[in-house]
């Protein structure tokens, strides 16, 4: 399996928590979309011959004109085979999900929507500086379903300051009532150089206590599993047959190519590459028929540690046979030593058999504590 990621770096507003690369200035949308086509042409030999997934992320891909998105897909279709394509995802903000857009997305081949609901309460949305209302969030999902979309994922954020226990439970209940096939839920993280970080530093709010955050996570886990969802990765829940294939490529170390400013690529072995995270520099380099990017080669230790870090957050856990294929004897010896020397408390958080080391989803919030002790 291999994937293609397309980064659309534009948003109408800056969410208070977001540290992804984006711009709220929309005057260069057309020029940048043309730049994406140029990059695809320049990198046609790097593209997977028959990708299994394509993912439009950002930013806010749903604000881009239909014709620009279709041009990207048709350009890719001229260079790679779509024969093995299983999933084409578009991230969409609720305020963009109109019947016209839905019809256009379906006609061009987008078969999965990731709708950024985040919360169904006005207070939470204003705190995060989201641009939609609770009514728009619910309406977007229902319109997509009416338009024939049967592979929809929505987002919820937990750990929001001043959000009560009852409000979080009602948020989860509203998400379940929409009967989507997938749900992603992330703890609110306060990243440096974001509006939320500034507000915290200037005492405009206090972070939620760790035990409250854990209680919200556990409630989410239990509520979704009770309603037929599989909690298959720390932040992701799916009904049977609806796991996120593209994101699964990332977690399992499959190769992917990233197109667009700041987009990352990985060859499935040791080589990483990323485009310049600056729209102006990105477009200027493409006008000169080249691409401004950087790359690095991971060491064997870095790659094996990465496998451990991503795998432990999944329901399948760490496959020791996979590690042995990648690692040398010294790394495996050090890793095995670190695992065996965990404290008794941490040992109790792990489940082990002959080939796997894994954690129960209820323990995943403790994953970082274990990783600090077992990576080499």
pLDDT for position 153: 98
Residue closest to 188 by CA, chosen among 167, 216, 165? 216
Query: What is the DSSP annotation of 40-97?
Result: HHHTTTTS-SS-SEEEEEES-GGGS-HHHHHHHHHHHHHHS--TT--EEEEEE-GGG-
| pLDDT over 80 (residue 1) | no
pLDDT band at 185 (very low <50, low <70, confident <90, very high): very high
Token readout for 234 is 């720390």
pLDDT in tens, 264-317: 999 999 999 999 999 999 999 999 999 999 999 999 999 999 999 999 999 999
Mean pLDDT over the full length of the chain? 95
pLDDT for position 23: 81
pLDDT in tens, 7-57: 999 998 878 888 788 788 788 999 999 999 999 999 999 999 999 999 999
Least confident of 44-58, 86-100, 319-333: 319-333
pLDDT for position 200: 82
With contact defined as beta carbons under 8 Å apart, do 120 and 139 qualify? no
CATH architecture of 3-250: Alpha-Beta Horseshoe (3.80)
pLDDT for position 350: 94
Least confident of 28-32, 132-136, 199-203, 337-341: 199-203
Residue closest to 57 by CA, chosen among 250, 253, 310, 196? 250
Whole-model pTM: value is 0.95
Q: How far apart are CA 25 and CA 346, in angstroms?
A: 48
State the average pLDDT over residues 242-250: 96
Q: Which fold has domain 300-374?
A: Arc Repressor Mutant, subunit A (1.10.10)
pLDDT band at 254 (very low <50, low <70, confident <90, very high): very high
pLDDT for position 318: 96
pLDDT band at 205 (very low <50, low <70, confident <90, very high): confident
Residue closest to 21 by CA, chosen among 58, 71, 52, 51? 58
Chain position carrying tokens 């890793």: 335
Q: How far is CA 220 from CA 125, 184, 292, 355, in A?
A: 19, 11, 42, 29
Q: How far apart are CA 315 and CA 295, in angstroms?
A: 31
Token readout for 333 is 């010896």
Q: Which residues contact 355 (CB under 8 A, 6 or more apart)?
A: 319, 320, 321
pLDDT band at 194 (very low <50, low <70, confident <90, very high): confident
pLDDT band at 92 (very low <50, low <70, confident <90, very high): very high
pLDDT for position 240: 98
Domain locations in the chain?
3-250, 300-374
Chain position carrying tokens 């323990």: 363
More confident residue, 205 or 117: 117
pLDDT for position 191: 84
């Amino acid at each position: 399996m291999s994937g293609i990621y397309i980064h659309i770096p534009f948003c109408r507003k800056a969410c208070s928590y977001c540290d992804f690369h984006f711009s709220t200035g929309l005057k260069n949308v057309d020029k940048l979309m043309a730049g994406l086509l140029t990059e695809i042409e320049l990198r046609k030999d790097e593209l997977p011959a028959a990708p299994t997934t394509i993912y439009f992320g950002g930013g806010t891909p749903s604000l881009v004109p239909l014709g620009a998105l279709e041009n990207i897909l048709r350009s890719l279709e001229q260079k790679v085979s779509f024969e093995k394509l299983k999933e084409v995802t578009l991230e969409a903000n609720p305020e963009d999900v109109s019947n016209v857009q839905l019809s256009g997305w379906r006609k061009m081949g987008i078969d999965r929507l990731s709708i950024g609901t985040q919360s169904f309460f006005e207070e939470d949305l204003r705190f995060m500086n989201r641009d939609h209302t609770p009514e728009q969030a619910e309406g977007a999902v229902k319109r997509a379903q009416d338009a024939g979309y049967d592979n929809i994922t929505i987002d919820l954020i937990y750990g929001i300051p001043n959000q009560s226990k009852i409000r979080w439970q009602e948020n989860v209940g509203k998400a379940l009532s929409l009967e989507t096939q997938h749900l992603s839920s992330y703890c609110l993280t306060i990243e440096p150089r974001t509006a939320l970080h500034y507000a915290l530093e200037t005492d405009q709010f206090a972070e939620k206590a760790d035990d409250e955050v854990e209680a919200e996570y556990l409630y989410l886990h239990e509520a979704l599993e009770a309603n037929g969802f599989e909690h298959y990765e720390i932040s992701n829940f799916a009904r049977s047959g609806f796991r996120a294939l593209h994101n699964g490529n990332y977690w399992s170390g499959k190769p992917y190519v990233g197109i667009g400013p700041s987009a990352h690529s990985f060859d499935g072995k040791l080589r990483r590459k990323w485009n310049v995270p600056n729209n102006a520099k990105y477009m200027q380099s493409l006008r000169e028929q080249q691409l401004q990017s950087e790359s690095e080669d991971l060491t064997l230790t870095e790659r094996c540690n990465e496998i451990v870090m991503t795998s432990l957050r999944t329901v399948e856990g760490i496959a020791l046979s996979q590690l042995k294929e990648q690692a040398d004897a010294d790394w495996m010896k050090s890793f095995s030593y670190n695992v065996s020397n965990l404290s008794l408390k941490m040992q109790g958080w792990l489940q082990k058999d002959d080939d796997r080391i894994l954690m129960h989803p209820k323990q995943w919030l403790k994953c970082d504590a274990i990783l600090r002790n077992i990576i080499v």
